[in-house]
Amino acid sequence: MPTTQLYLASGSPRRKELLAQIGVQFTRISAPIDETPLLNESAKDYVLRLAKLKAEAGWQAMLEQGLAALPVLAADTTVVLDGQILGKPIDALDAIAMLEQLSGRSHEVFTSLGLRTDTGTEVVLSVSTVTFMPLSPAQIAAYVASGEPMDKAGSYGIQGTAGMFISDLQGSFSGVMGLPLHDTAALLARHGLGFLAA
C-alpha cells in the first residue's frame, strides 16, 4: 500500500479528487475552524488567513490524536465580485441572488493553499478571473432547482452544469474547483513532496 505523504485538512470531495489526480498519497484529517470574515477584512486576506488556520488546525488535530507527524495541506476558495465575498448560499433565494449578480459579468476566484510542516506554515494564493454569460431568470431557476449550487462558493461549480455558463476563464480551472494543481504541486515540491519533487 502506498505510503501517506501528508494529511489533507479538507472534507471537499473535489479537493480529494484533484489531489489524488496528481499522485499524492494522503489521509484526510478533520480540522473545523470558524470561517467568519473579520471586520473590514479583504477577500485576499480572508482566504489566506483561512488556509493558514485550517492547516494549523489540522496540525493540532494530528498532535492531539497522536498520529504520525506529516505535513498538513489545507485550502480555501472564495468567489469575489466587486470586492465582496460570495460564500456558500444559505438557501435557494440566496443562490438565485448570487447568480443574478454574476450573470453577464466577470468575477475573481481566490484559492489559497496552506502547508503546515514542522518548520512552520507556507501559504500561497491562486487568482483566476471567470466570466459568466448573461443568464435568464429561467436558466438561473433551473440551475438552482438542480441543487448543485447549494454547497459551493458563489453558488456554482465550474466542474458541473455551470461550466456551460462560463464564457471565459483566465487562470486555473482546478483553482476555481478548489485546488490549483500547478500551485499545489509546486508548493509540495518545495517541501520534498509529490511528483515534481521526484
Positions annotated as catalytic residues are 76
* Site of grid cell 502547508: 115
List Cβ neighbours of 34 (8 Å cut-off, separation of 6 or more).
Answer: none
State the cell numbers at 192: 520534498
Upper half-sphere CA count for residue 171 (Cβ side, 13 Å) = 24
Q: How far apart are CA 9 and CA 75, in angstroms?
A: 8
Q: Phi, psi at residue 46, to the nearest 5°? A: -60, -50
Hey, what amino acid is at 120? G
Q: How far apart are CA 174 and CA 68, in angstroms?
A: 29
Identify the three-state secondary structure at position 140: helix
